[in-house]
Amino acid sequence: MYPTEPEFEQALGELTDSLGPFLAANPAYQKAFSIVQIPERVVQFRVVWEDDQGAPQVNRGYRVQYNSALGPYKGGLRLHPSVNLSILKFLGFEQTFKNALTGLNMGGGKGGSDFDPKGKSDSEIRRFCVSFMSELSRHIGQDTDVPAGDIGTGGREIGFMFGAYKKLRNEFVGVLTGKGGNWGGSFIRPEATGYGVIYYIEHMIAKACPEYSLSKPSTLVAISGAGNVAQFTALKVIELGATVVSLSDSKGALIATTDKGFSKEVVEKIGELKLKGGFLSESFASSGEYKYYPGARPWTLIPKVHIALPGATQNEVSGEEAEALVKAGVRIVAEGSNMGCTPEAIEVFEKSRKTGKSPVWYAPGKASNCGGVAVSGLEMAQNSQRFKWTPEEVDAKLKGIMKEYMSICGSKWSGEDLSSGDVLPSLLCGANVAGFIKVADAMKEHGDWW
């Protein structure tokens, strides 16, 4: 670990806390924990590309191949100015244990660049992607490392990268997921993370607070973000019948001012706006049905909410905002983003859970947002068969994976005495411990620790 890796240190600290009781009872696994913290391989390279004025530009490219004990490295490529090694190590570390619990043979990895697609022409993005893949192609493959999309890397970027890989390697293989439907992509993949969050929390709601079923318009759902994850989370909530009261982006928050909340049509228009690189501040508030708050996140702006779904980026719910959510009546908090809540926020939610009185039940991203990588794994399986399942088949498989994931996370690995039945299990500890055990056991069988 380098001296300053705050995001990775935070992820490692969370896992360390969760594993404490398990490692105390099973000290032999301490060696595995020491080893699994270190990535198997980190690739860092420069990416030189030509802008529309013919001038050379340079960015940093990365691929963190974290752990391959359970299968090929698997994780997204993030294109954003904030990308650095700390963020990618944290994401790859989280991805390792998230992928372990899908039941699919996938290891963990993450990559990307500090390149910003916003404000760039299609030609500039294409030239960047070709240059990026000219180096990345040396380190990936359908049975080695299968990247996917992430923040800043959508269907357009995946297409450019896949085309570059195909030309460089002279082979058509499933080396990337999130591909176009006509050339190896899977149905439900764009929707998968958002849909998966909802399929996961349906089981949480049924166990903890069935009175807030997503079939009821009176159930209020706050969502942050306005990208792919947030959009499809919102659309699924609306489809089921509950009310979405917020969305947000990096410039501010958009809050519904009527009982109707967000409509399907408005969410779809937001999707179109985001594809063009626009911001929520540019429209919607003028109708009187929504109010825009510049520079704000939604959590302190909503007087009443039952379900909160952070869907933007890491550390987007602070301790103070968590307190505001508890005060507003939130009962379910599930991350669509990775590490969406700060340690202080998690402490607030976990304290509420342990009281057993109108508790808040918190699900970490490695549990609730695994739908995306699950369908990526299903896309890999379809590519291997040269076959494509129907949308109904993929959706049914996704629902089954999320149900099983919820069952595993709510198991005995909560690390607490739940015999009274008055306290809900810690999904945070359950996901961390169960994922760690699966990875560590495979590593031991491979001779990586003894």
Active site residues: 110
Q: Are 281 and 252 in contact (CB under 8 A)?
A: yes
CA separation for the pair 425, 410 (Å, rounded) = 6
In this structure, the strands spanning 41-50 and 56-67 are antiparallel
SS3 291: strand
Nearest to 136 by CA among 157, 156, 107, 105: 157
CA separation for the pair 8, 441 (Å, rounded) = 23
Distance of CA 257 to the CA centre of its chain: 29
Distance of CA 242 to the CA centre of its chain: 22
Rg (CA), the chain: 21
Nearest to 264 by CA among 232, 312, 226: 232
The dihedral through the CA atoms of 218, 223, 226, 227 has a sign that is negative
Tokens of 42: 């980190």
SS3 245: strand
DSSP 8-state secondary structure symbol assigned to residue 176: S
CA separation for the pair 218, 226 (Å, rounded) = 23
Question: What's the Cα-to-Cα distance from 261 to each of 46, 238, 289, 373, rounded to whole Å?
Answer: 45, 9, 8, 30
CA separation for the pair 396, 402 (Å, rounded) = 10
